[in-house]
Structure 1
Amino acid sequence: MSIHRYPPRSLSTDYYRASGGIAVTLLPLLVIRPDWPVALIFLLVAALCGYFFYRTMERHRLVIGLDDEGIFARGFNAVEIRWTDMSRFHLNYYTLRRDRTGGWMELVVRAGDKTIKIDSRLEDFVTVVRRAHSAARQNRLPMTPITQANLMALRIF
């Protein structure tokens, strides 16, 4: 069995961004007391930053485990997927730049209504992708051209 977590260092910038966003949007509400339309906009942005903070905490607590039987995720919620039950394997790449650098990958593994999503900041992400890909091949799951290209980028295919 192998256990994988998100290193706290990789999440620290997300914590800073979320906290800064909450502070920058709530502080004017307390100090300036703007009219309700402006206050509503600030509250909506603060709520969005709060959600981002929650998602970062969720990632911080998340533990991914692999064994011969399947994959599990433990955090705020617990999900277990047996390799033999896996019905979807998808690997996406996301970037915010036109030159397609500085992005991240996201692995999606699904069985019925159970889904596990992890991004490439997870420690030893490639090991998780390799094991899930092996199970997907054994289950003869179809793979999109995007997934195949991303597997080749990781030198798995």
Structure 2
Amino acid sequence: MTAPASRYPPETLKADYLRTALGLAATAGPLALAGGQAHPLVAVPLAAGAALFIWLGGRTLLRGRVRYLLLPDGLAVEGGLFAGLLAWDRITDVKLRYYAVKKDRSGGWMQLTLRAGRRRHSIESQLTGFDGIAARVAALVVERNLPVDETTRENFMSLGHYM
């Protein structure tokens, strides 16, 4: 039996698209208004910022297309550039990180990174079904006695997955 497909919720994607649009307005907007007459000391940082926001928008677009299926033999990734199966028996490294937004460590998100050979894939906690995927990965770490760092161990424990 497989779990339902996991996707990034539209509200998360909308917020990222809004940040992309605002960032592009603040960086590419002034460049467009200058009409190619901006001094390089101004133009280069603005162009670099615009490139960063274009990358963010592209990443958000890809995240909106991808879906994950929790299967008995691995985690299937469908609909993205990195589609394929992350087979449980091929995973060699697991990291679970928490990124805080505020000083009191609230309002953050987690990022689960799985490595299978040269392939690496990261999933953020905004994904629907993230808890189920994290539970399966925690069980995998125990089953296969995979080495994890103390931060990863503590983060799994904060989700209720004891190792």
TM tier, smaller = over 0.9
> Which residue number in structure 2 is paired with residue 86 of structure 1?
91
Any stretches of 5+ residues in structure 2 without a counterpart? none
Counting matched residue pairs gives 157
Any stretches of 5+ residues in structure 1 without a counterpart? none
The TM-score normalised by the length of structure 2 is 0.90
Which stretch of the first structure deviates more once superposed, 72-81 or 46-55? 72-81
The TM-score normalised by the length of structure 1 is 0.93
> Which residue number in structure 1 is paired with residue 23 of structure 2?
21
The residue correspondences of 1:55-134 to structure 2 (distance < 5 A) are: 55-74=59-78, 75-134=80-139
Instruction: Output the CA distance in 2 between the equivalents of 1:59 and 1:73.
Output: 11
Q: CA deviation at 1:7?
A: 0.7
Report runs of 4+ in structure 1 exceeding 3 Å deviation: none
Instruction: Output the CA distance in 2 between the equivalents of 1:65 and 1:93.
Output: 23
After superposition, what is the alpha-carbon deviation per residue over 1:16-72, rounded to whole angstroms, capped at 9, x for unaligned? 011111122222122234223312221111011111111111211111111111112
> Which residue number in structure 2 is paired with residue 148 of structure 1?
153
The sequence identity of aligned pairs, in percent, is: 32
> Which residue number in structure 2 is paired with residue 35 of structure 1?
39
Instruction: Choose which of 10, 13, 16 in structure 1 pairs with 2:12.
Output: 10
For the Cα contact (< 8 Å) 1:79–1:116, is it kept in 2?
Answer: no
For the structure 1 residues 82 and 40, does the alpha-carbon distance in structure 2 shift closer, same or farther, using more than 3 Å as the test?
same
